[in-house]
Structure 1
Amino acid sequence: MKSIVILMFALIVNEVVFGQSTSLKISQDKRYIEDQDGQPFLWLGDTAWELFHKLNREEADHYLTKRAKQGFTVIQAVVLAEDDGLGKPNAYGEIPLIDLDPKKPNLKYFEHVDYIIEKAEKLGLYIALLPTWADKVPNNRPGIDPVIFNEKNASIYGEFLGKRYGKRNIIWILGGDRNIDNDTALGVWQAMAAGIKKEDQGRNLMSYHPAGENSSSSYREDWIDFNIYQSGHAHRYMPVYRFAEKDAEQFPRKPFIDAEPAYEDIPVRFWKYIDWESKEKVPVQILDKNNLLKAKSTHFKEGFFTDHDVRVHAYWNFLSGACGYTYGNNAVWQMFKKGGSFTIPCLTDWKEALNRPGAHDIKHLHKIFSIFPLGMFKADQSLILNTYGTDNTYISSALAKDLSFALIYLALGQAVKVDLHKLKGDKIFTFWYNPRIGKLSTPTLITQTGPFEFIPPSSGINNDWLLILTTSDLIQVP
């Protein structure tokens, strides 16, 4: 344990470095993803849905390099994108398919996809690759593009992708913000999955991205190696732990990830305030000359998700058993450029959004869960003795499998009473980790066992804290 603590202090003061890429697999206990060396893989994703579609190579280099430095490990991007992905050309004037036919990929378009995937791999990043946004498969929520897939062409398209990218560091994600709501759609996704696996030969993991407040665990498909849920954007303090608890009880057991929680800077319940039938979508007077939302606009009456929401949902997910978390920013997912069109109005353009506070918080997440890898602990709410609610007062906790440490997240810096009997030994060393700046306090020694109340250094909105309790002699580490 002493070596872990030395690593702790080293990581607190140093930047996250680029890692080496390997193919991934499911751990033996089916609780997390691991690399070829059997080490837990920390999924810290970013939703860059329009990456292939809207950025040129210089822009893509800038984006990927920035995200790698910030501690991200996975980039989620779509080949046939949501925003008129079939009809609107990419940065080089290329559309992905000839005659809207999945059997006729435009290789010029895919050369750009090749470049981005290879660049990501050089930076130690994985691309979670969506073959298509799900509006192009039969569903009950039409998008801009037509439905173009059937079982036959889905299989052929899957084979094309599997052969082209099967040896790259890819994680396959079928779907795209749609549930599988009819047998025809199910047949298409099954055919696409089979086509990919035929050429990929099972090298890379696969999952499915559902609609908001749903999980892929509903489908129980053999080709789904790990489950994805989208906790969504309905309100602040989404009970993401409920999704985790539900997926943890599924059989057969599979790891699970919140691959689309609330995005930083996206309006809360944005769909209530957008006229999807209108060309403008929102009143033009709330936008400035760059098509950005004016600072004083109150059109979105429930406000916007913030970096605080990012941290809350991330820690609630991880300490509830999730093996990954995906960040998102409203401007980045759609790669919004000043003066351009938007799907949902933005506060900044995509480049400025790369430096939003929630994105920098990912680096701090990376640090703490590199120190305490996912395979070392599991969710355990029995540590918490005081009453906690199901909104902003919820307290999430996890206990080491060997009982040597506990992690407790306090969204509002609220006092917490902990059952110290749960940890082995009669000496407990207490650390406070500030998830906003990635700083660790000096340790405090507690020599009693049983119930003990901990008071964080500060409390209230934007005063969240991670309480770390350990049983090793950390006080002696220089």
Structure 2
Amino acid sequence: MSRRAALRLLAVLVAAAVVVAVAVVGYRVLRPGTPEQDGWYERPPAADAPLRAVTPSTARPADGGGAPFVTAVADGGRYFVDQDGAPILVRGDAPWSLLVDLSPAEAETYLTTRSEQGFNALLVSLLGNPANGGPSADGATVDGLLPFVDGDVTRWNAPYWDRAHDTLARAADLGLTVLLYPVDSWTLDEPFGSPSVAVCHDYGAMVGEWAADLPHVLWMAGGDYTPEPADDACLEAVQEGIRSTGDSRPFSAQLITVRFAGQDPHWDPLVDWDFVYSYQPVYEAVREAYDTGPVRPALLAESNYEGENNMGDQPTTTETLRRQVLWAITSGSPGDVYGTEDWEFLPGWQDRLRSEGAEQVARLRDVVASLPWWTLVPDDGALLTGGAGGNPDAFDQLETDLATAAASPDGDLALVYVPTERTVTLDVDRLAPGSRAWWVDPTTGEPAPASLAGSMTTPGANAAGDHDWLLVLGTHPVDG
């Protein structure tokens, strides 16, 4: 098991930790476009040292190609909006080592396939290390491109950064938002080298300038990260460096010590949205983040990955994946991030891109995205009045059968996820006049009209032979 996989397993066992705040020292970074050379400059090693030009990126600016991607947190703080200000459901994947493990042709295969499947967000590390799926500890790509010259994080090897820029620009063309880690917990030591706070700030400013024409990037810190004062100072300095360029795009942190950054007193005031991280029944963590102030998106951004076993003897099944998506949505998450064992692009990954789990998750997301999901508020028993079930001692997603619900305040839309066969009771007076009901098979996305009543029973086995169903209620038609 890789260090990353081992640490991800620890996420279900660790308790919250309090970390120490460290002041960030600002540093001015030289920018492109001087009369001498229209290119990137390295930070001088000393105040009187001459500037050294780095070949500028040849990647064209990304214009998004008309495809929507995440750009900001919506007014009200519960979900994200795209470049036109419209609500956008996060439909993510976690190809952590995309930029170092794949050739440009392979990256094109991955990106276009995920776009065709309706994915619109990717979790990606800008630097590689074997612990985050990369080929080598020096950060080199699979074909040997190093990110830095002589290990100096302010001396960039242009071919590496040009390729990374091209790949991310292509993601923008396809409407794939990138949740990007400029440096993560696995690359802080190698290849980043744990430099001084001032150098971390310089690097962040360089990244901010480099990504200025990539409008689909959201910034991340951490990654299975146990906070330490020195590391906190560097990660914060990187983000401050990015901010020094005028970049204001949303930022979050992934910590292994807590379910979301809002539970950590140090990181809580620094993030714009909560990266919810739990392998246990996800409705618990998502709802806790949703209910914890300040109000901001509580996105389920990591749980069990398809093809991996992170819960001891319990497998990650397609039913596990469906539960994670629908429990997240009905508990207040503005989408979810799915993942697979190919976060590190294992041999044969191309053949697994269209796995049954990925296809089922895509179908479910299509159903949710076709409805005004952003109006939903998690239900506290006002709509779902009986038959909820549940197991407060559950450790794995499949050890509990809790039904969860969410409804719009005007009753125009409600979703009820029922994970096992049963009858549920509803207060139909909470629904808008003219409301109807559909049972949606979560394995196919196919809806079947049902008679709306105060007592409703699941239709039996779904197409996969399981008994979980999504009940859609309201005035909005559900198309098959």
TM-score by length of 1: 0.78
Aligned-partner Cα distance in 1 for 2:296–2:473: 29
Task: Give the CA deviation at 1:150.
Answer: 3.3
The 3 A distance-change label for structure 1 pair 63 and 200 is farther
Question: Which 5+ residue runs of structure 2 have no aligned equivalent?
Answer: 1-64, 392-398
Please tell me whether residue 102 in structure 1 is matched to residue 112 in structure 2. no
Aligned-partner Cα distance in 2 for 1:471–1:126: 31
Q: Matched residue of 2:180: which SS? A: strand
Aligned-partner Cα distance in 1 for 2:451–2:315: 40
Report Cα offsets for 1:386-423 as digits up to 9, x if no partner: 24113431111011221122110112243322222221
The answer on whether the counterparts of 2:94 and 2:124 sit within 8 Å (CA) in structure 1 is: yes
Please name the residue that 1:24 is paired with: 71
Please name the residue that 2:96 is paired with: 49
Report Cα offsets for 1:249-305 as digits up to 9, x if no partner: 2222111111111001102336xxxxxxxxxxxxxxxxxxxxxxxxxxxxxxx1531
What is the letter of the counterpart of residue 287 of structure 2?
Answer: E
The 3 A distance-change label for structure 1 pair 99 and 29 is same
1:166 to 187, 206, 212: 212
Please name the residue that 2:275 is paired with: 228
Please name the residue that 2:56 is paired with: none
Aligned-partner Cα distance in 1 for 2:167–2:323: 31
Task: Give the CA deviation at 1:461.
Answer: 6.8
Please name the residue that 2:459 is paired with: 456
The 3 A distance-change label for structure 1 pair 313 and 174 is same
**Larger deviation, residues 40-49 vs 100-109:** 100-109
Aligned-partner Cα distance in 2 for 1:23–1:326: 14
Aligned-partner Cα distance in 1 for 2:355–2:450: 33
Identity, % of aligned pairs? 24
Q: How does 1:267-282 map to 2 (within 5 A)?
A: 267-269=309-311
Task: Give the CA deviation at 1:42.
Answer: 1.0
Report Cα offsets for 1:337-381 as digits up to 9, x if no partner: 2xxxxxxxxxxx311221111111232133122222332211113
Report Cα offsets for 1:111-157 as digits up to 9, x if no partner: 1101110111111111111112213447xxxxx76752431221111
The answer on whether the counterparts of 1:72 and 1:362 sit within 8 Å (CA) in structure 2 is: no
Task: Give the CA deviation at 1:52.
Answer: 0.6
The answer on whether the counterparts of 2:300 and 2:335 sit within 8 Å (CA) in structure 1 is: yes
The 3 A distance-change label for structure 1 pair 165 and 52 is same
Q: How does 1:330-409 map to 2 (within 5 A)?
A: 330=341, 332-337=342-347, 349-382=348-381, 383-384=383-384, 385-390=386-391, 391-409=399-417
What is the letter of the counterpart of residue 153 of structure 1?
Answer: V
Please name the residue that 1:255 is paired with: 297
Q: Matched residue of 2:93: which SS? A: strand
The answer on whether the counterparts of 2:458 and 2:469 sit within 8 Å (CA) in structure 1 is: no
Aligned-partner Cα distance in 1 for 2:311–2:69: 38
Please name the residue that 2:196 is paired with: 150
Q: Matched residue of 1:134: which SS? A: coil
What is the letter of the counterpart of residue 78 of structure 1?
Answer: S
Aligned-partner Cα distance in 2 for 1:367–1:380: 22
Q: Which runs of 4+ in 1 moved over 6 A?
A: none
Aligned-partner Cα distance in 1 for 2:192–2:66: 40
1:131 to 182, 192, 198: 182
Please name the residue that 1:244 is paired with: 286
The answer on whether the counterparts of 2:418 and 2:468 sit within 8 Å (CA) in structure 1 is: yes
The answer on whether the counterparts of 2:128 and 2:141 sit within 8 Å (CA) in structure 1 is: no
2:450 to 444, 450, 455: 444
Please tell me whether residue 87 in structure 1 is matched to residue 138 in structure 2. yes
Aligned-partner Cα distance in 2 for 1:352–1:28: 41
Aligned-partner Cα distance in 2 for 1:164–1:308: 41
Please name the residue that 1:264 is paired with: 306
Aligned-partner Cα distance in 1 for 2:138–2:149: 10
Question: Which 5+ residue runs of structure 1 have no aligned equivalent?
Answer: 1-17, 139-143, 233-237, 271-301, 338-348
What is the letter of the counterpart of residue 380 of structure 2?
Answer: Q
Q: Matched residue of 1:408: which SS? A: strand
Please name the residue that 1:315 is paired with: 326
Aligned-partner Cα distance in 2 for 1:200–1:353: 40
The answer on whether the counterparts of 1:166 and 1:200 sit within 8 Å (CA) in structure 2 is: no
Q: Matched residue of 2:302: which SS? A: coil
The answer on whether the counterparts of 2:200 and 2:238 sit within 8 Å (CA) in structure 1 is: yes
The answer on whether the counterparts of 1:396 and 1:408 sit within 8 Å (CA) in structure 2 is: yes
The 3 A distance-change label for structure 1 pair 353 and 312 is same
The answer on whether the counterparts of 1:33 and 1:41 sit within 8 Å (CA) in structure 2 is: yes
The answer on whether the counterparts of 2:432 and 2:475 sit within 8 Å (CA) in structure 1 is: yes
What is the letter of the counterpart of residue 381 of structure 1?
Answer: D
